[in-house]
Amino acid sequence: MRTRPTLTWSNPGPSLPRTSTLTEVVPIVERGGVLVLSGAGLSTESGIPDYRGEGGSLRKHTPMTYEEFTTSEAGRQRYWARSHVGWRTIARAHPNAGHHAVARLSSKLRGVITQNVDGLHQAAGSADVVELHGGLDRVICLGCGLLSPRIDLDRRLREANPDFHATTDEINPDGDVFLPEETVRGFRVVPCEACGGVLKPDVVFFGENVPRPRVEQCYSLVDGARSLLVLGSSLTVMSGLRFVRRAATAGIPVVIINRGETRGDAHASLRVDLPLGKTLSELAEIVVGEQW
């Protein structure tokens, strides 16, 4: 059964007052010990659409679920055909001003937890990044557990499908795209070179659990932080919301910079409704001064 990922939530109480200035954010970041939790909204300025924002991809397209990928050969064929096209767009994407600003603020950060799988934080120079949902630049075998570079799989898929030349502008944050069924029919999926098993991108699909050790690592980062700064996430699903709740329960200030309401607003100390790239660049300029 294909389940449709959560699109919205019901706000149980009054909206958190929002601000359009950085006045209250600056002293929180200047104190240091800031843990960043980033979502798909941070990468939209790099040409990668988000899931749930205005025009978000979930309104038009249901992503692959873990259940379908692991139980349906046709589902895997469809996914790999579409992801073969979409991954190239993700791989060509460049960090935007927001990613670079986070890297510039590194001396004030305890770490970065990202819900994104595009690798743009690391490409901008951020260290100590925890990829909560994995990374599209790696592939894992569900049989033997072997990890391999996505670029190697891309080469093998091109060799196995020399006449496959699909293109599309409709891409999702997980690298999946929309292609007509007749286009993906006949696409050849390649197995693990080590054991012949099923290959899967090293990302957490909808309906799949984040590995427990990774969750515990994130909880540890939250527990040692002086503040939590949420960037570009609607916090619709529990995967990221649980860290906001933990911080709030511990009395750790939660600041959310996002366009529009989030599911975590009730737990936040402050919500800033401004464009991320320009806003984070201004914040970095005020706090650390020097250009990256």
Two structure tokens written together for 126: 């951020």
The pLDDT tens digits for 72-93 are: 999 999 999 999 999 888 888 9
Residue 44 marked as a ligand binder = yes
Residue 196 marked as a ligand binder = no
Q: Residue 133: is its pLDDT beyond 50?
A: yes
Residue 286 marked as a ligand binder = no
- Supply the pLDDT for residue 58: 46
- Supply the pLDDT for residue 13: 55
pTM reported for the whole predicted model? 0.90
- Supply the pLDDT for residue 63: 79
Q: Residue 7: is its pLDDT beyond 70?
A: no
Two structure tokens written together for 1: 């059964």
Which long-range contacts (C-beta less than 8 Å, at least 24 apart) are formed by 7-14?
A: 7/52, 7/58, 7/59, 7/236, 8/52, 8/236, 9/236, 9/263, 11/261, 11/265, 11/266, 12/266, 13/266
Domain residue extents for the chain: 19-287
Crossing angle (nearest 10°) for helices 276-287 and 97-104: 20
Residue 72 marked as a ligand binder = no
Domain 19-287 CATH superfamily: TPP-binding domain (3.40.50.1220)
Phi-psi region of 227 (alpha: psi -120 to 50; beta: other; left: phi over 0): beta
Mean pLDDT, residues 15-20 taken together: 70
For residue 178, give every residue at least 6 positions away whose Cβ sits within 8 Å of its Cβ, in sequence order, or none: 60, 61, 82, 168, 170
> What confidence tier does 203 reach under pLDDT thresholds 50, 70, 90?
very high
- Supply the pLDDT for residue 106: 97
Mean pLDDT, residues 159-163 taken together: 96
Q: In this prediction, what percent of the chain has a pLDDT beyond 90? A: 74
The pLDDT tens digits for 164-200 are: 988 776 777 777 888 888 889 999 999 999 999 999 9
Catalytic machinery residues: 133
- Supply the pLDDT for residue 56: 45
- Supply the pLDDT for residue 9: 47
Nearest Cα neighbor of 22 from 246, 266, 229, 241 is 229
- Supply the pLDDT for residue 16: 61
Q: Residue 2: is its pLDDT beyond 60?
A: no
Nearest Cα neighbor of 29 from 282, 218, 273 is 282
> What confidence tier does 1 reach under pLDDT thresholds 50, 70, 90?
very low
Q: Residue 97: is its pLDDT beyond 50?
A: yes
